[in-house]
Structures are given as C-alpha cells and as structure tokens.
Amino acid sequence: MEITIFGTGYVGLVTGVCFAEAGYNVTCFDIDERKITALSQGRCPIYEPGLEEMLKRNLENGRLQFTYDSRLASKNADYIFIAVGTPENEDGSANLEFLEDAVDQIGKYLSRDAVIIIKSTVPVGTNQRIYQKLQGIVPDNIQVKVVSNPEFLREGSGILDTFHADRIVIGADDNEAGRAVADLYKPFGRPILQTDVRSAELIKYASNAFLATKISFINEVANLCEHTGANIEDVAKGMGMDVRIGSQFLRAGIGYGGSCFPKDTKALEKLTEDYEYDFKILRSVIEVNSRQKQQLFEKARELFGNLQGKRVAVLGLAFKPHTDDIREAPAVELIARLIEEQADISVYDPAASGNAADLFGSRLYYAENVDAAIKGADIVFIVTEWPQITQYDLERFSLLMREPVIFDGRNCYDLANAESAGLTYVSVGRKA
Ligand code: UGA
C-alpha cells in the first residue's frame, strides 16, 4: 500500500514521517526543489524536536522518500494526503490556490483508484467541491474518493501530538472510504471520530476558534485583574480546577500568534459572513487579541512617554517557545512599533533570530544570549517564554541593565522574586 503526501510544510512533513515510522511506505511531494533535496539528505528545514532523527531513520530503512515530480508522487498512490498551506487572502478568507494546484496535478497523473485525504484547513464545502472537480479530471476507469481529515498538531510538539492525538477526525460521505482511512490510522491506536465531510471541516475551525476564545477570555480577565487588584494566576487556577472549564489554554499573556489561530479565526469569520451569520463572540475574540498584542508597548509608553533613543531588549521572537516560527508573532508587532519610535533594539531568541533577520535586517541587533541582549538596556520586553528566559537569573537584570525595567508579556517570574531582585516589573494581570 502506497501513501503519498502532497506538501512538506509543517503538517505534511510530520504526517509523512510519522506514517513511515508507523510502518507504511510513504512518498512526500513538494514543489520546492531545494526543500526536497535537503529532506532527501536527511536535513529537516523546520525546527521541530525529534523530527530530524525520525526522518533519517525512515530514509535509511527505505520507508520514506521525497520527490518534486508530481507524476511520480501521484501515479501509484493508493492514499494521497493533501497538506498544502491555505494562507490568508487580503479579505481574511482562505486562499485555496495551492490546494487547487495539487488537485490538478493529482487528477492529471492518477493511474489507479485512490482516496484523496484533505488535511489542509479548508472552509466548509471545499472537500465536496474538490470531489466534483476530480470527477471532471480523472479518466472514467479510475475511481477517486475524497475524505476530510483535519489536523490538530501543535508546532513544536507535532510528533508527540501525532502519536498521542486526543482524536482523529475523519469526515466522509462515502462510508467505505471513511473506513479505509480509519484503518490507516489503526497503528496509532488513538480515538477515531467519523463524521460527514462538512462536520469534519467545521470541527477544525471550531476547535481553533474555541481555543482562541479561551485565550482572549483569560486575557480579558487578566486586564480586569489589573483594574481590580486580583491576581490572574490565582483566578485562572481557580477557574481551571473546575473540570468543566479545564486548566489548559488559560495562560494570560500578550495574545495568540502563529500560522493557525489568527488565520483560522479570520477565515471562519469570513465564512460566517458568506452565510450572513453574525458570529458575535468570534468577532470579539479577534478584536481582543489584536488589542492585547499592543499591550506591552502601551504599558511602556505609559511609563516612559516617548521611547525614542531608549535601549530596548526584546526577549523571545517566536510566537511560542520551541519553534522558530514568527508568523503573526506578538514580537513582530512590538518590534515594528519600537522601530517607528526609533528605539535602539536588541533581540534574543534561541531559534527564531534567523527568521527575524530576514524580516528586519540590520535594524536590530541579534544577540547570542540573554546577557548580550540586555546589557546596557533601559527596558526589557519579554515576549516568548523560552526556558532560557524563564530560568534566567533575575539578579542579572539589575547587574547588566541601566535601570532594570521589565515588561513581561508571559508572566515568567514570581512577583516576590522580581521584587527582591530590585526590578521594576510589569506583568499581565498581576500587581506591578
Ligand atoms: C494550534 C492548535 O493548538 C493546534 O491544535 C492546531 O492543529 C494548530 O493550531 C493548527 O491549526 O495547525 P499552534 O498554532 O502550533 O497550534 O500553537 P498553540 O500551542 O496552540 O499556541 C498558539 C498561540 O496561543 C501561541 O501564540 C501561544 O503563546 C498562545 N497561547 C496558548 C496563549 O497565549 N495562552 C495559552 O494558554 C495557550
């Protein structure tokens, strides 16, 4: 049985490598020739703990191969997963260009019956449209079916999430195809939910929107804590102990970022507009998040007035720890505003400095470690809770900075410890 994965982005690559690890023969296709060459040589183009070792192991045992030849990738496949990106259009809707291209290629080259499994996050109704499109392309003697199989992996823990998934959602209007895809997942031994296609498509958007809602909700409560003198950590803990609420995704901070929540909440909002349905909570979630992303900067402005000429260190660039991804990262917006203010900016991130350098070039100083970033700084902004930052010795802020003023967007330090280290420490939803 041959499995092909179209698209070796984060989701496609993790899926391909994990299916090979589970014992299948897997071919991964991408149009990016350089990426395919690197992957064929066992070099992983993304920062994902454990992925490179697993990639090498499965290249060596011959279960995994890479190609940029779409004919080769399509013609003998029994199951083709499509995991290409669906980025944001200017109006917030999902851009399905890459998906359409992949379907065209597959349709053109298929030489036997196959099940096409759409992993890409797509608006409700897309799978059905793709099915109809394929009927018009593939020869009459070939039977092709389309199954929706949305992905719930998190960046930075993709392998763990694949082997320990809370659920695998399989949406099929054709029972036989749905059952066949469910069988593919048997070696993973995880709970499987089979639904119709449209429900599967919506489960993905609704799940991301709900998690984003939890974050925006707790951020609003944190802001209320600042007005009322309560402590967000105690409040979140007290709420999370109720199993109906759950303790996860209640960490207040400076807003969610990344390639998923911002894009998917906007795409869902666009979908509701198309159906002329006013999804009020969703609009608020998006609005609260964009306001929250400005918060650290506004707090610094309040304390210092103008930041022009100030020496400023930004600790953490990635949208969360254990990834090098800076897409929609709160740090990017913060830095853009600091550049506007003509602050003198140094930054530190254990993995994402290269990506930030592509974006900001020589306008920033890229430090090798926290010490080098904060040396001589007037202000430190903490944006990502990397262990290198959360476990940093607080005394060193006083030692190395001019005046130790810290704006912490991730509540990394204990308030009493910050006070005894002599810091002016402003965090989220806790007393200054
Ligand atoms: C998210 C979902 O968690 C995955 O289930 C989903 O598959 C993925 O999107 C996707 O659609 O592909 P990811 O974007 O990798 O995964 O990152 P998360 O770990 O969910 O974090 C997203 C953002 O929320 C980060 O900026 C993080 O700092 C923020 N966050 C998370 C908070 O501010 N507070 C929290 O309590 C949790």
pLDDT per residue as tens digits for the range 15-44: 999 999 999 999 999 999 999 999 999 999
User: What residue has token string 């990635």?
Assistant: 318
pLDDT at 285 over 80: yes
Give distance in angstroms: CA of 154 to centre of ligand 1. 6
Q: How many angstroms separate the most distant Cα atoms in the chain?
A: 76
User: What is the reported pLDDT for 84?
Assistant: 97
- Nearest CA owner, ligand 1 atom 24: 256
pLDDT in tens, 380-393: 999 999 999 999 99
pLDDT in tens, 319-372: 999 999 999 999 999 999 999 999 999 999 999 999 999 999 999 999 999 999
- Nearest CA owner, ligand 1 atom 28: 320
User: What is the reported pLDDT for 431?
Assistant: 81
Give distance in angstroms: CA of 11 to centre of ligand 1. 14
User: What is the reported pLDDT for 47?
Assistant: 85
- Check if 2-195 and 204-291 are the same fold: no
Residue from 196, 7, 223 nearest 119 by CA = 7
pLDDT at 315 over 80: yes
Residue from 85, 203, 70 nearest 149 by CA = 203
pLDDT in tens, 80-120: 999 999 999 999 999 999 999 999 999 999 999 999 999 99
First to last CA, the chain: 61
Model ipTM value: 0.98
Share of the chain above pLDDT 90, in %: 97
pLDDT in tens, 188-208: 999 999 999 999 999 999 999
Q: Where are the domains of the chain?
A: 2-195, 204-291, 293-426
Instruction: Name 96's Cβ contacts closer than 8 Å, sequence gap at least 6.
Output: 86, 122, 126
Best residue among 13, 15, 48, 155 to mutate for probing ligand 1's pocket (most ligand atoms within 8 Å of CB) is 155
C-alpha–C-alpha distance, residues 344 and 95, integer Å = 37
> Strand, helix or coil at 284?
helix
| CATH fourth-level superfamily of 293-426 | NAD(P)-binding Rossmann-like Domain (3.40.50.720)
User: What is the reported pLDDT for 82?
Assistant: 98
- Nearest CA owner, ligand 1 atom 1: 154
Best residue among 260, 323, 326 to mutate for probing ligand 1's pocket (most ligand atoms within 8 Å of CB) is 260
Q: Which of 18, 225, 260, 412 is catalytic?
A: 260
The CATH architecture one would assign to domain 2-195 is 3-Layer(aba) Sandwich (3.40)
User: What is the reported pLDDT for 46?
Assistant: 87
- Nearest CA owner, ligand 1 atom 2: 154
pLDDT at 415 over 80: yes
**Fold designation for 204-291:** N-(1-d-carboxylethyl)-l-norvaline Dehydrogenase; domain 2 (1.10.1040)
Q: Is 225 a catalytic residue?
A: no
Dihedral in degrees, nearest 10, Cα atoms 166, 189, 169, 328? 50
Residues touching ligand 1 (Cβ under 6 Å) are 151-155, 208, 211, 215, 249-251, 253, 256-258, 260-261, 264, 319-320
pTM here?
0.96
